[in-house]
A and B are shown apart, each in its own frame.
Chain A
Amino acid sequence: MNEIGQGFIQALQLIFSLNPDVVGITARSLYISLASVILASLVDVPLGALIELREFRGKRSLINLIQTLYSLPTVTVGLLVFLFISRSGPLGGLNLLFTPGGMIIGQTILISPIIIGLTISSLRGVSSQTRETAKSMGATERQIIATVIKEARYAMGAALLLGFGRAISEVGVAMMIGGNIRGYTRVLTTAIALETSKGNLELSLALGIILISLSLLVSLLLSRFQGR
C-alpha cells in the first residue's frame, strides 16, 4: 500500500514536471484519437444522415447491424486491419503497419459504428415537425437535411465525444497496428500495459491518471451536450 502511495506521488511529480515521455505519449494519443474522430465524422456523419433521412429496403436491418457493432472487440478490428495493411495484405504497399497512420485507420474503423449509429439516433430525435416547418418555409431537400443536422448538432457532438472516448481508451488496435514503438506509436493505453508489466508503477500511474482525467473530461463535456 505504501509502495502504491509513493508511486502515486511520484506519478504526480512526473505529470507536473512535464516529463518528456509522459508529454510525448499523451500528445501522440490525443493526435491519433482526434484524427480518428475527425476522419470518422467526415465519412460517418453524412452516411448516418443518409441512412436516417432516406427510406430504403433493409433500413431497419442495417441499423440493427450498426448497433450490434458498437461493442466490436478492439482486437478483432486490429486483426482485420492488420490483415489488410500487413506486407502480404492488399494494402501492404502503403506501408501503414506499425505507423500512427495505420492506427488512425484502425481507430476510425473501430468508432465508425458508434458515430453512424448515434448520428442516426440524433437525427431521429429531431421532431418531424421541424422537417415540415423547413419544408413549408420553402427549403429544398438539401436545406432541410442541413437544418435537421443543425438541430441535432448537440446530440451529434455527444456522439463524436463518445467516439473519442472509445478511441483513446482502446488497446487492441493500438497494440496490433501500432506495435507500441517508443517515441513513434506508443500511446497511453499501450504504455500503461507495458510499463505495468515492467513494474514501472510511477509511469503507469502517471499515464493512468491522465487517461482517467481525459475520460472524465469527455464525460463532463458529454453531460453538457446532452443537457442541450
Chain B
Amino acid sequence: MAFIELKGVGKCYGSSQILKEVDLQMFEGEVMALIGPTGSGKTTLLRLIDLLEEPSSGAILLEGRDVARLPERELLKLRRRMAMVFQKPVMFKASVKDNVSYGLKVRGIKAPEKVDLVLEAVGLQSYAHRDATTLSGGEMQRIALARALIVEPEVLLLDEPTANLDPGSAASVEELISGLQTTVIMATHNMNQCLRLSDRVAVLLEGRLAAQGKPTEVLASKEREASLFPSGGAFVPWYPFGKRVV
C-alpha cells in the first residue's frame, strides 16, 4: 500500500486551475522528486500534501485514509507527522535556536540537545544565538531544514531545497537528504539532483502529471525528453548524463 496517495487531485484558485486530476503514489521511506517548470503546480502539490489547503477535487490518502477534508483537530495531528521547508523560508524574529526549536515548542517538548545536533547536521553549529533574520538566504534555508528535521517528521516536504545555496552548501544538504530514513518529497528544477537523490520522479506539466517512475526510466528517453520539455517557454535547458537535449 502506498504511504501517501493522491487520487484525482485538482486545485483551483478562482478561475485558474493549478492542478488537474493528479494521481500519484508515494511509498514509505522513498525520496520522490517532483520536477516541472515554474508554474506547473509543484509547490501547490506540496502544500496539499502538507494539508495546508484542501484540494478542490479528489482525495489525499495517508496510509489508506482520506485525510483531505478532516476537521482541523485531526489535520493538526497529521500535520505534526510532517514538516515542510518552503522555497523562500521565513525566519521568526528570534534567535536561530528559537527558530529551530519552534516545532518542539508547539508540541510541548523540551530537548535543547536536539537543537545542537540538527545545527551541526546542517553545518551551522555556531549560529545558535544569532538573530535568525540577519542570516543570508542560504543560511536561512539550512536553518529551515534544521527546523523541519528536529521534529523527526515521517514525511519531509522540500520546495527547491538547494535553490539559494552555493555549490558546497548544496552538496552538504544533498548528502543530508540522501542519508535520511524518512519519506521525502522534493520539488526541484535540478535534473542532476533529481537523478542523484530520488528513488522515483513525478513530472508535472501545466498542472497535470505527465510521467512518473524511476529517474532513469522517466528521463532517459530522448524522444520523451523532447516531448516533455519542449524548447522555449519557461523551461530551463537541462543535461541528463551530460547531453544537452534542448
Enumerate chain A interface residues (CB-CB to B < 8 A): 127, 129-130, 132-141, 143, 147, 150-151, 153-154, 228
The listed residue with most B CB atoms (<10 A of its CB), out of A133, A136, A151, is A136
Q: Which residue of A lies closest to B73 (CB)?
A: A140
- With A127-B90, A132-B52 already in contact, the answer to whether A140 and B83 are too (CB < 8 A) is no
Residue numbers in B under 8 Å from A129 (CB-CB): 86, 88, 90
- Name A133's closest neighbour in chain B (CB-CB): B90
Determine how close the nearest CB of chain B comes to the CB of A137; give it in whole angstroms.
Answer: 4
Q: Kindly state whether residue B200 has any CB partner on chain A within 8 Å.
A: no
Residue of A at shortest CB range from B144?
A: A133
A interface, over-half SS: helix
What separation, in Å, do the CA atoms of A143 and B80 have in the docked complex? 14
A127 to B93, CA, bound (A): 12
CA distance A129 to B107 in the complex (A): 20
Q: Give the contacts of B98-152 with A (CB-CB under 8 A).
A: 102-103, 106-107, 147-148, 151
User: How distant is the Cα of A134 from the Cα of B93 in the complex, in angstroms?
Assistant: 13
Report chain A residues within 8 Å CB of B90.
127, 129-130, 133
Return the 4 tightest CB-CB contacts between A and B, nearest first. A138-B80, A139-B106, A137-B103, A136-B84
Q: Are A140 and B76 touching (Cβ within 8 A)?
A: yes
Measured between alpha carbons, how far is A228 from B151 in the docked complex, in Å? 30
A134 to B89, CA, bound (A): 11
CA distance A83 to B172 in the complex (A): 71
- Alpha-carbon distance between A153 and B210 when the two chains are bound, in angstroms: 47
Chain A residues with CB under 8 A of B148: 137
